[in-house]
Amino acid sequence: MIKYNLKCNNKHEFESWFSDSKEFEKLSKKKLLECIFCNSKIIKKSIMSPRILNSNKNENRNPPELELKKLKKDLINLRKFVEKNFEFVGSNLANKVRDVYYDKKSNKNIYGSTSEKEREELKEEGIDLVSIPWIEKDN
C-alpha cells in the first residue's frame, strides 16, 4: 500500500491509500479520484515521494529513542513551568478563562482542563486556548 498526499485544484489537501502507484495513475486518468471536500475531480499528488506502509516492525526505527527522551524532557520542563507560573483551576477552566478574559485588569495565568465543546465555544468567543501534552514526571 502507498499513501499519497493529494491536492485538488481548490488547494484542499487530503490523504489517500492506493495499492500501488499504477492504481493512482489509472484512477487519475479515468477521473475517478475526487476531492473529499469539494468533489473536484482535478486531483494531483502533492508530494513526490510517497510514504510506504511498512508492515515489518523491525525496520520501524522512528522516532529514534534519543528524540523521544529529549521531547519528554522538554514536556516535563513545560509542565514544571506551567505548575509554577499558572494557577490550577481544574475542570472549571472554561468559566475561569472567561473571567480572566473579560476582566481587562486581570492578567492571571491559569490552567486546567476543558471538554472539546467548551474549547469550541471559547474559540467562537475569540478565546484561543493552548493545549499542551501533559506528561507524568515519573514515567
> Of the candidates 1, 32, 38, 68, which one interacts with Zn ion according to CB under 5 A?
38
Closest contact distance (angstroms) between CB of 17 and Zn ion is 18
Q: Is 10 in the site for Zn ion (CB under 5 A)?
A: yes
Task: Return the DSSP state at 72.
Answer: H
C-alpha cell at 78: 513545560
d(CA 45, CA 4): 7
Using a 10 angstrom Cβ sphere, with 0-12 exposed, 13-18 middle and 19 or more buried, the burial of residue 121 is middle
* Cell 471559547 belongs to residue: 122
Per-residue contact flags (x/-) with Zn ion for residues 67 to 96, judged by CB under 5 A: ------------------------------
Closest contact distance (angstroms) between CB of 43 and Zn ion is 8
Q: Is 13 in the site for Zn ion (CB under 5 A)?
A: no
Residue numbers at the binding site for Zn ion (CB under 5 A)? 8, 10, 12, 35, 37-38, 40
